[in-house]
Amino acid sequence: MEVCVIAKCTYKSETIMFSVSSESSMVDILKTLCLRFRGLQLGCFTLRYSVPSYPSCFLETDSDLDLMRTFLLISNEKTVDILVKDLCGISEYSGDFCVNKELIACEKGESSCSSTVEDRNEFLGRSKRASAKPLLSNEWETYIHHVGQKFDGGAEEFRLKLCKYALEVGFNFLYAGNDKKWVVAICSNKKLEGCSWRVYASRCEATGSFVIRTLNNVHTCAGRIRESKSKMMRSRVVSSLIVDRIRAKPELKPVEIIHEFKDYYGIDISYYHAWFGKELAKLDVHGDESKSFNELVWYTDAVKETNTGSLCTLDCEAGINRFRRFFVSFGGCIAGFQYCIPLLFIDATFLKSKYKGQLLCASGKNGNQGFYPLAFGVVDSETEENWTWFLQHLASILLPMGRVVTFFSDRNQGLLNAMGFVFPGWPHSYCYYHLKQNLISKYPKLGYGKLLQDRVINLFSRCAYAVTEEEFKVAMEELVIVGSSKVKAFISDLSRDHYANAFFKGMRYGEMANSLAESFNNWVGVFRDLPVLPLIEGIRQKLMVLNSQRRFEAEKWTTVLCPEMETRLCENAEAGRTWAVRRSNSTVFEVFADYSVMVDLEQRTCSCRLWQIDGFPCTHAVAAILAKRDSVYDYVECYYKTDFFRKAYESPIFPIPDIGKGLGSNGSAAGVVLPPITKRPAGRPPTKRIKVFGEFKRPLKCSRCSVAGHNRKTCKAII
């Protein structure tokens, strides 16, 4: 029985039709395609045909051709769409029909020149013809190919794929009709050159998908070439291509997007399209920022339900139900904190989202010298009222544990007042680094010179680190003489009980600065420009992964102490191997190093006072312990031991699935939570912290002459 079908073959934006009979072979089809499509060469393309429910079937061998004819006969189809697709610069293709390249050339009475071209490229060196780089956009030419093609994403998916198709093929189109139910697009050259290209698609009421109803995929206008810039590249197209990148890397910059589009798609986009495309992608990934505050009602209940023992509170203005602040501490963190060193580092960092605000955090320190996030919250501003509210929730966690914790912070006045009100009498240390920067600002280099500035800072450091009152007094007297009235004014407002080792009432375990809080701020920095709920949930997910990783790492440890502390203990033991140790009684020893010190093992004290300050045996103490032949580990605080580290991460932070979010009535009882009122300042919103006076700034250096003080644009050097 004679089976004859009409094949509609599309290559880029051109379509030809010819009949395929029972006698036709793959060689016949290939010969026809190479003759009809200019620039098409054997071995440099592949064929795919489309039938109902199977849009991309291989057509490479005679067997594939027989199967296609059989399927069309069974399904009573008279036509078939065949797509001719380039192999992106690949010169040979491993199909059965490709071996007939020279054979077909001989049948035509011609000679194959492929070897000549290859020889020419081989000997031309750098002048050889460059091959095309495979691009991620190469498949876009297959997005629009036949009548009946379905788009499950509706009109939006159809418009996006139509734009990408036009970008790849190299033409512009106009909408003759554009609605939620139907879309008609024509070539932009229709009025000038009468181009007949046209596509019409409408919604299928039964399934809700968009279907191509009519398609004239042949351009009758002048030749087209794919350009690097096109009017079809719109912000919504950019958004659809970077949405996964934004989900994985929220801090992606528009300049990076521009470079990626050039490298991966071969397309030049403007900064505006990159920036606005990123904003649209953020909206698709994270949702509307104003609605994010209302979702905190659901999230508060979800935290308490999934993470037993958590403390999570949402506070809104009475009457109008406008967001004020949010606090969360997960049950796993609360349970593990009692096995951490009794230190808490308090700090705040600004948020970069539409509604701004401040992120407050309280981070502890584990036995391996890593930070341990205990609690964090979001408030509208860093005020005394908000700090009091935050610390009161923190107190409800710490007081039941029954131990005193030493706090570290900067000297924010609202925080200091709140600390004295909520935790009266608890040890509170000012950050040594911030104090040093405050003192540097009193002596700018321009007016006083770097020599005086360094001298003042050196003397202040001696005061802060002095281990005895005598050392502190000597250093302070010299500091006042060198610094004169400016130092006197600075010291008068600074209580020595909050920064000097010699007078500090409490245990700081060797810490002097609020560095762990800064580490937490850097750790969560990638989330600071997100809406409030993705910000909080992003921190939770990162915290969940961190705790899990540390839990599994600790299972592999074989030492009594955590690795960092085990190394320090071994170093202390090595340092005192040559020292002489004399016993006074069963617990008191005299150690002769460069100078002699007294070590009392029962009181856990040393004359050098480092054991008392650090809470860890100093070199003299280790020498005395080894001389007594006791176990050194018996004199180390339990917080530094491996078993305590494991207990700190024993309770996991559990996932909070959002698959059921919005199905219940969460939030309806409390009403809609409104976002805080913010006023956008003039100019571009800042995204970087304003550095305090005296912070290091990278010196300006010319890339042309390598001289500091100017840049390449203003360089006047003769080279």
Task: Please give the mean pLDDT across all residues of the chain.
Answer: 86
Asked if pLDDT for residue 144 goes beyond 70, the answer is yes
Asked if pLDDT for residue 664 goes beyond 60, the answer is no
Which candidate, 467, 670, 126, places its Cα nearest to that of 475? Answer: 467
Residues 236, 241: Cα–Cα separation, whole Å: 9
Q: What is the pLDDT at residue 41?
A: 75
376, 358 Cβ separation under 8 angstroms: no
AA letter at 306: T
Asked if pLDDT for residue 117 goes beyond 60, the answer is no
Residues 378, 351: Cα–Cα separation, whole Å: 9
Residues 16, 315: Cα–Cα separation, whole Å: 68
Sheet strands side by side (includes 371-379): 311-316, 323-329, 371-379, 358-365, 341-350, 406-409, 428-430
Q: List Cα–Cα distances, 617 to 154, 205, 338, 367, 590, in angstroms.
A: 70, 78, 22, 15, 15
**Residues forming beta bridges with residue 84, ordered by sequence position:** 11, 47
- pLDDT (mean) for 386-398: 96
pTM above 0.75, yes or no: no
- 101 pLDDT band, cuts 50/70/90, is very low
Q: What is the pLDDT at residue 647?
A: 96
- 95 pLDDT band, cuts 50/70/90, is very low
